[in-house]
Copies of this chain bind each other. A is one copy, B any other.
Amino acid sequence: MAWLDQTGVQWSTDPQVLAEKRLDRSGWEPDGSPAAVVFPRTVADVQAVLKGAQETRTKIVARGAGTALTGATAAGDGVLVLDLSGLNRILDVRPADGVAVVEPGVITANLDRAAAAHGLRYAPDPASLELSTIGGNIATNAGGLRCAKYGVTRDAVLGLDVVLAGGERISTGRATLKGVAGYDLTGLFVGSEGTLGVIVGATLRLRPLPEPTATIAAYYPDVETAAAASVALAEARIQPVLAELLDQATLDAIDPGLRATGSALLIVQTDGGPDEAAHAAEVLAKGATLVQSAGDPAELLKARRQALPSIEKLGRPLIEDIAVPRSRLAEAVRRIGVIAARHDVPICTLAHAGDGNLHPIIVAGAHGEPIPDAATRAADEIFALALELGGTVTGEHGVGVLKRAWLAKEIGPLAHDLQRQIKAVFDPLGILNPGKAI
């Protein structure tokens, strides 16, 4: 990597730095260790690194905070890690235009706070929002809780600045709220997991801060009734901001005493005003064993917040991520329970019920131990179930390394081949995040 000296960009081969940048949060371990980590501070730095990488055929793994759950930012033998966390400026917040212009290393929650100072907000809110970066959110097309009403990352990205594999810089999309000039390269980069180019800037849509939300927690005797309640909201013309479903295994992990209250919990927030909130409470009451709507919203959301930490106490969590048509949600949760019993591995399921997006969390043995085969087999059955129910193997986390085989099954050989040809257009030498996504 001596060529990096010619770029003038700071870089390191310190073993501790390499170890820090080798993994993401998926638990997946690549073979070997990256060769170096480079720390660009400007777009020109990124261009110089990419130009040198193409000339020397050096493989690049771009990363922000490394919060991917799929192996997408894991960096193995000999690759160069491009750490974009130093490009972290919010360049512009323009309330009159409803847009912000940012560098990729901006922490998502920081952008949202900057927007809030103007009565606006950046809507996408992945669970990692206090850690993860806008660039990473764009690379994975991150979802979140309130995307049920306000859309996923793709819906918030108007335009991008991208450095291509050879170091050239292009702008895609637009600075306006609307625009249809040419093929949608912006949409192509969103969710491409660093395989088509390196995102070095983004123009993002900000939305008016809505009214404060009302929060309702409703317990049900079974997951079918809970899922039906979430569908009934839509049928009552209510668009909740979030609708989070916790299954019995999750409730048991939080507090076995909750079983007396119900076997499934649905937590709903609305922001359409008091009439909508009252209407939602009425709809959710049908078949419920307990409905709580008074008091501190944070308290009502407590079970959702406690879910992952509680599950982590049971062992090492593999956080899966499938989506099904909303009407199949209850069936999906039930059958995940059957899969758990068959393989004798605990699986706790959380779902963004408004979207039909489930996170079955497989407790895969003790922390630090190898992942048991039974857990891997259960995960495969969950993916097969998603496809059988007309769904997808990834609702919002992406493909990374862990779901490459399943991607091929989901989209079919013809679409897969088209995707490979698109990859070849943008990265003919295959230096960008090789072995990931497609």
Contacts and interface: CB of A to CB of B under 8 A. Distances in A.
Contacts of A181: 392-394, 399, 403, 407, 410-411
A390 interface: yes
Nearest to A403: B181
A208 interface: yes
Contacts of A174: 323, 391-392
Interface string A275-293: 1100000000000000000
**Best-surrounded residue of A94, A178, A192, A354 (most CB of chain B within 10 A):** A178
A103 interface: no
A151 B275 CA distance: 25
Interface stretch (A8-16, A80-88, A324-332): A324-332
B324 A182 contact: no
**Best-surrounded residue of A164, A176, A326, A396 (most CB of chain B within 10 A):** A176
Contact of A183 (B120, B355, B419): B419
A190 to B, nearest CB: 7
A61 to B, nearest CB: 18
A434 B99 CA distance: 36
Interface of A: 94-99, 118-120, 140-141, 143, 147, 151-152, 154-155, 164, 168, 170-172, 174-185, 187-188, 190-192, 196, 207-211, 231, 234-239, 272-273, 275-276, 323-327, 352, 354-357, 390-399, 403, 407, 410-412, 414-416, 418-419, 421-423, 425-426, 437-438
A92 to B, nearest CB: 11
Nearest to A190: B184
B234 A95 contact: yes
B390 A183 contact: no
A323 B179 contact: yes
A96 B177 contact: no
Given A119-B235, A273-B272, A415-B172, A178 B152 contact: yes
A176 B324 contact: yes
Contacts of A412: 170-171
A178 B396 contact: yes
Contacts of A410: 181-182
Given A171-B412, A327-B94, A180 B394 contact: yes
A273 B273 CA distance: 8
A438 to B, nearest CB: 6
A119 B237 contact: yes
Contacts of A151: 151, 155
Contacts of A392: 174, 176, 178-181
Given A170-B418, A172-B415, A422-B422, A98 B180 contact: no
A408 to B, nearest CB: 9
B192 A183 contact: yes
Contacts of A355: 176-178
Contacts of A234: 95-96, 98, 120, 208
A407 B182 contact: yes
**Best-surrounded residue of A177, A356, A394 (most CB of chain B within 10 A):** A177
Nearest to A174: B392
27 contacts: A94-B327, A97-B326, A98-B326, A118-B235, A119-B235, A119-B236, A140-B180, A143-B178, A147-B178, A154-B184, A170-B412, A170-B414, A176-B326, A177-B355, A178-B356, A178-B395, A179-B323, A181-B393, A181-B407, A182-B399, A182-B410, A183-B191, A183-B438, A184-B191, A272-B272, A273-B275, A418-B426
